[in-house]
Amino acid sequence: MTVPRMRFTFWKAVFLVIMVAGVYCTFIRFFRGLGASTNLSDQFPWGLWIGFDVMCGVMLAAGGFTLTAAVEIFNIKRFHSIVRPTILTAFLGYLLVCAALMYDLGLPWNIWHPLIMRNPHSVMFEVAYCVMLYTTVLALEFSPIVLEHFKLHRALKIVRSVMVVFVILGVLLSTLHQSSLGTLYLIMPNKLHPFWYSPLLPVFFFLSAIAVGLAMTIFESSMSSKYFGRELELPILRDLGRVLVVVLALYGILKFEDFYHRGILGLVFKPSYEQRFFLLEIFLSVLIPLAMLLVPKIRESAQGLYLAAVLCLLGFVTNRLNVAITGVENAVGGRYTPKWTETVITAMFVALGFAIFGLAAKYLPIFPEEKAHLPALRESVEGAASDPALVVSELAVPVHAGD
């Protein structure tokens, strides 16, 4: 249960170094402009900050809506104990995406403009609204955790009574903007390489967001068990692994059908710059994780699940970077690699994500109480008996045991 002191000191040092470098790069970015702080150019108006911080950030936060939909809407109770960490991840993810956007926008102080200057024909306009609204919804979905911590029972009761509406709104908004990040690229039929340009781009973005949501949940549960001394909820992760198999299979088959109907299957076997990145992406994101998870022995083991999830995450991160960068490089005639300052800023946001998650996990009731604490908790929370969360966490094990 206790964490070795050495490890924490090491990561604290790493964190500190990244933060100091990040502050320096922030200074360069805001006082000397995008030209001085990035390798962006007229050919590459979008780089690492859009490709990773925004596109991958939103994707990696997809566990929030995937798990709340499963638990709250589809009423799959055995996943209940892992909903809170995924909501925390999602909320954090979106806050960091918004912060990263402030770095990438040329005139960040105008970020509120879409509120009064509306162009509903713009996909970016729709994404802006969805992200704005969904971040608000996530704050509300996250609020019970804070309210519980400060024992604000009346507020807690009010929030809980309207939670269904927020959950539905959250799933709706997520579906819209996860797919819309793909729709953004539909305007570039002559720019984006056919490996990635497809009329189905929004569908691929949505399906992969679900896959990543599941993989991210497996990843963060494994990490939490390693660093916070949490007991690993292996039976739940196994079930998530099973769902992940189905989603990856659907994604893979749709990808194949899409390539087949657009007549570009041959391109997959023809060596090219794009082909290498595409193969890397498809093996990491779909083929290897799928092959791994189809083997019962791997699917049942904590390490196997963890490894498959990590590969899947890396694969879909590659996918987003391919869409944002690799896929347009030849069309605009050039290569883009991020400047060190861009990389440092991105590293800063990743580090902040881990650090804030760690702090929240330490000070807020993110994880369900261990069994022994249950009765105490029940007494402390008004109307706990009617709270599905607690009833469910007790039910979870027996329900699953029969599986």
Q: Does 263 bind other proteins (CB under 8 A)?
A: no
Tell me the C-alpha distance between 60 and 376, whole Å.
35
Q: Does 399 bind other proteins (CB under 8 A)?
A: no
- Given a contact cutoff of 8 angstroms between Cβ atoms, the answer to whether 190 and 331 are in contact is yes
Q: Which is nearer to other proteins, 168 or 234 (CB)?
A: 168
CA 124-178-97 angle, to 5 degrees, is 70
Q: Which is nearer to other proteins, 18 or 40 (CB)?
A: 40
Q: Does 161 bind other proteins (CB under 8 A)?
A: no
Q: Does 106 bind other proteins (CB under 8 A)?
A: yes
Q: Does 128 bind other proteins (CB under 8 A)?
A: yes
Q: Which is nearer to other proteins, 49 or 219 (CB)?
A: 49
Tell me the C-alpha distance between 384 and 296, whole Å.
38
Q: Does 53 bind other proteins (CB under 8 A)?
A: no
Q: Does 387 bind other proteins (CB under 8 A)?
A: no
Q: Does 32 bind other proteins (CB under 8 A)?
A: yes
- Given a contact cutoff of 8 angstroms between Cβ atoms, the answer to whether 298 and 308 are in contact is yes
Tell me the C-alpha distance between 342 and 25, whole Å.
8
What backbone phi and psi angles, to 5 degrees, belong to 214? Answer: -70, -45
Q: Does 33 bind other proteins (CB under 8 A)?
A: yes
Measured from the CB of residue 271, what is the shortest distance to other proteins in angstroms? 22
Measured from the CB of residue 245, what is the shortest distance to other proteins in angstroms? 22
Tell me the C-alpha distance between 118 and 379, whole Å.
50
Q: Which residues have a Cβ under 8 Å from the Cβ of 124 and sit 6 or more positions away?
A: 184
Measured from the CB of residue 115, what is the shortest distance to other proteins in angstroms? 10
Q: Which is nearer to other proteins, 203 or 279 (CB)?
A: 203
The pair of structure tokens assigned to 164 is 């269904």
Residue type, 209: A
Burial code (b: 16+ CB inside 10 Å, e: under 16) for 182-215 equals bbbbbeeeeebbebbbbebbbebbbbbbbbbbbb
Q: Does 253 bind other proteins (CB under 8 A)?
A: no
> Judged by CB under 8 A, which of 124, 158, 265, 295 binds other proteins?
124
Measured from the CB of residue 222, what is the shortest distance to other proteins in angstroms? 28
Q: Which residues have a Cβ under 8 Å from the Cβ of 27 and sit 6 or more positions away?
A: none
Q: Does 172 bind other proteins (CB under 8 A)?
A: yes
The pair of structure tokens assigned to 45 is 């108006």
Measured from the CB of residue 43, what is the shortest distance to other proteins in angstroms? 7
Measured from the CB of residue 303, what is the shortest distance to other proteins in angstroms? 33
* Contact footprint for other proteins (CB under 8 A): 30-36, 40-43, 45-46, 69, 72-75, 104-108, 110-111, 113-114, 117-126, 128, 164, 167-168, 171-172, 175-176, 183-184, 186-191, 202, 328, 332
